Amino acid sequence: MKDASSQRGVHRHTKGATTGRTSKVKASKRTDWGRLRRMSEAEVRKGIAADPDAHATDEKFWKNAKVVWPSRKQIVTMRLDADLLRWFRQQRGYQTRINAILRAYMSAHASEG
């Protein structure tokens, strides 16, 4: 039987603990979809041409490409220091970042085990 705190409709008190909500992304960092929709195709192409990180791909680029399906995630409960969790939660996608950091650590130490 579930305890009272996990039953539907019961208010859970967090006693000042974080709720898992992430901070809002600053407006300057978000995509202005309305502005993008109003742009002509020529304006979009001009913007792409001006972007130093945008590069066309060719057959050579795709020659050794492999389809990589994301692995299924498992839900876990983990105890982390409050300050560490606060730091990660400052931006959206903190769980994905934690996962990437742990994966990088695993890859760096793969030959040890």
pLDDT of residue 22: 55
Spatial distance between the Cα atoms of 99 and 20, rounded to a whole number of angstroms = 16
Token pair recorded at residue 70: 């994301």
pLDDT in the model for residue 29: 75
Give the pLDDT confidence of 9-35 residue by residue, as tens digits: 544 555 555 555 555 656 667 889 999
- Predicted TM-score (pTM) above 0.75: no
**Residue 1: its pLDDT value, please?**
47
- Grouped pLDDT means (10 residues each) for the chain, 113 residues: 48 52 64 93 93 91 90 92 96 93 93 75
